[in-house]
Amino acid sequence: MGPFRTLYIDMNSFFASVEQQLNPAIRGQPVAITAMENEKGCCVAASYEAKAFGVKTGTSVPDARSLCPGIVFLPSRHRLYVRFNLRVAAVLDRYAELERIRSVDEFQIVLSGEATELDGARALVARLKSAVAAEVGVCLRFSAGIGPNHLLAKIAGKLEKPDGCQHLGPDNMPGRIADLALDDLPGISRSMRTRLEAAGVRDMVSLCRLDPRHARAIWRSVEGERFVRSLQGEPIPLVKTRRGGFGNSKVLAPEFRAPAEAYLVSRWLIEKAAARLRREARVAGSFALHLSPMGAPPWARSVRCAATQDTLEFMRMNRALWRRAWPYIRGRKLAAIGVHLGDVDFLTARTGDLLKPVAPGEMTAGERASVAADFINQRFGQGTIQFGINRPHPGFFERG
């Protein structure tokens, strides 16, 4: 058996490619996907034809139009992209062992048999590219990374775009990535790069040769040791993460930036987050509100509460935090807002309360009402039952 265990698939300009696949008239043209359908928005994705002009994720619509006068702007349709994600996943899983769907445009495959050798892995990549093109669409291309673990495979997948195939392994590490900056690697932020440099680790070769125990001290976590061991080619598996909370955030369109309108959007976000909490049979023991006034530092506060999944309880906490925020945000426009239900646990693990009274793992009357509202909304359409007045603000994740 050869040294390679993981194949990483990174779809190229996935959102724009899906749109080009569905509309042959825009194939070969620069295309940008926008979060909002006006000049205030920005690009959340761009085709390679647009990237050639300098348009990238985060480029504002006016700047993108200036960089590329002939660019085609299309509104994001996330549900559509999820459907294409599942179609690609189905094809990959027929030809190989699909281990994980890492994101809407990234997939992880387990290599075995002949594919653990470099030639066999490359032959598998060629088969997968042909199958995706034939069964999903010719515009759907991907770059592939081959490695002994998920981290090296993911890094390899970023080395040649679009439509590339690269590997990282004992024969070319660390020299193959020696020209990368530390924070070019997934999982290393600017602050972590600063911490590494303070510890004398200033280039990729030094990082790859770092003692894993020293890495644990620099990271102040076992994740540092896991990261460096992965860079050194050890078969370190992904750790299943524990969900820390349920949240929703929204970059506000101009008509929702006044505090009174933004407050109603926050109520809509709470309804969505609480419904997700109940779908997983969980309760939350804290609530947080994040507000980003335009031209001012953000404001954020949280409150702890008895563990609950009652939407109206979260609404009451939200109203109290908005009152606390009012002196700071009065007269300002808000660029973004967010809500977060934290300190989650399973409903079945909740202790009882003699004062309510509620037995261990039992729902309160308010929680049962919330579940009933979920059932009606699922049966007759979202918004059939609302928890008071709100302002729906569908955007990137709600379209399609």
Q: What is the DSSP string of 312-329?
A: HHHHHHHHHHHHHHHHHH
Contact criterion met (CB below 8 Å) for 142 and 7: no
φ, ψ for residue 299 (rounded to 5)? -120, 130
Q: How far apart are CA 251 and CA 385, in angstroms?
A: 25
CB neighbour class for 195 (10 Å; exposed up to 12, middle 13-18, buried from 19): middle
**CB-hemisphere CA count at 13 Å for 138?**
4
Strand order in the sheet with 142-147: 97-103, 106-110, 6-11, 142-147, 165-167
- Helix orientation angle between 222-231 and 150-157, rounded to the nearest 10 degrees: 60
Nearest to 311 by CA among 287, 337, 338, 345: 287
Q: Which of 37, 99, 106, 234 is catalytic?
A: 106
Q: How far apart are CA 118 and CA 170, in angstroms?
A: 11
The residue to which tokens 């540092």 are assigned: 224
Q: Is residue 106 among the annotated active site residues?
A: yes
Q: How far apart are CA 378 and CA 134, in angstroms?
A: 36
Neighbour-count burial for 105-137, b at 16+ CB within 10 Å, e otherwise = bbbbbebeeebbeeebbeebbeebbebbeeebb
3-state DSSP percent of the chain in helix, strand and coil, to 5 = 45, 20, 35
381: left (phi over 0), alpha (psi -120 to 50) or beta: left
Q: Is the dihedral of CA 240, 241, 245, 251 positive or negative?
A: negative
DSSP annotation of 334: E
Contact criterion met (CB below 8 Å) for 153 and 7: yes
**CB-hemisphere CA count at 13 Å for 340?**
16
Q: How far apart are CA 243 and CA 113, in angstroms?
A: 35
Q: Which residues are catalytic?
A: 106
